[in-house]
Amino acid sequence: MKHYRVAFAASVCALFAACSNVGNIDSSALIKSGQLATQAATLSETDVRALSDKSCAQLDSENQIAAANSKYQKRLNTIAAQLGDNINGTPVNYKVYVTKDINAWAMANGCVRVYSGLMDMMNDSEVRGVVGHEMGHVALGHTKKAMQVAYATSAMRSVASSAGGVAGALSGSQLGDFSEKLINAQFSQAQESAADDYSFDLQKKKHLDPSGLVTAFNKLAQVDGGKSSMLSSHPSSPARAQHIQQRIASNQ
């Protein structure tokens, strides 16, 4: 984490150095933005939870949530019962967004959202594999790093006082922008592979069949010629499917 903060600080300094060549910049606004950007690199667990709560609430308000007695929520409840009710001790809240979009994501506060478009194209085993993968990003700390980046890019445009805490420093429009950045975060190949393995290991631990991961990746690769919204942040599906298939074959 120390190296990450140094790199982050260096990138912020480089950005501000470039901006210093542009005329008519309000220096006080730049200083405040820099303070918020530095704050983003050191978000506490409380900050992460507060931002996750606000982002999840924002996205819930913008999407149609499946009714408790709908076929989608009932299916997700079955999957949730298999995967468990917490991520590293944080209670999980599972809901379905009714939309043709194909996506799923999880946040550090236990907010797990699955799109009905994804559920329409996948069976329960495949959805379980995908949801386990998204939970893996949270459990392994990937979403926190993604949040730092998303917050920094939002905060650098803000001159608001941080007196209300990092979540309070974001305006309504910035919160919407931040939430979109967060759920569309680009994870590294190493992070994606680690989340795949997390899903595989979680399912094996609970005596579930993890082969749905393989067929889920294959289905996603076929959506719009491999241009689905999920694949924009989940690259190399065929290779990842092969990796899971190898783990199944070796029973490891």
Helix axes 45-62, 172-183, angle to 10 degrees: 100
Residue 22's pLDDT is 33
Ordered by start, the domain boundaries in the chain are 45-250
User: Has residue 178 got a pLDDT over 80?
Assistant: no
Query: Which residue did the predictor score with more confidence, 132 or 236?
Result: 132
Band (149; pLDDT cuts 50, 70, 90)? confident
| Residue 134 known to be catalytic | yes
pLDDT of residue 234: 55
- Which pairs from 63-66 meet CB under 8 Å and 24+ separation? 63/97, 63/98, 63/99, 63/113, 64/97, 64/98, 64/99, 65/95, 65/96, 65/97, 65/98, 66/95, 66/96, 66/97, 66/98, 66/116
Q: Is 182 exposed, middle or buried (0-12, 13-18, 19+ CB in 10 A)?
A: buried
Task: Give me the residue label for tokens 């999957």.
Answer: 79
Average pLDDT, integer, range 110-133: 97
User: Is pLDDT larger for residue 131 or for residue 149?
Assistant: 131
- Tell me which amino acid residue 222 is: Q
- For 117-121, what is the mean pLDDT? 97
Under 8 Å between Cβ of 246 and 223? no
Cα separation of 173 and 161, whole Å?
16
pLDDT for residue 40: 56
Question: Of residues 45, 62, 134, 180, which has the active-site annotation?
Answer: 134
Mean pLDDT across the chain: 79
Percent of the chain's residues with pLDDT above 70: 71
| Of 144, 172, 169, 145, the residue nearest 155 (C-alpha) | 169
Q: What is the mean pLDDT of residues 225-243?
A: 65
Higher pLDDT: 43 or 33? It is: 43
pLDDT in tens, 89-106: 999 999 999 999 999 999
Average pLDDT of 180-200?
A: 88
pLDDT of residue 5: 37
Flag the least confident range among 35-44, 62-71, 134-143, 166-175.
35-44
Supply the pTM of this predicted model.
0.77
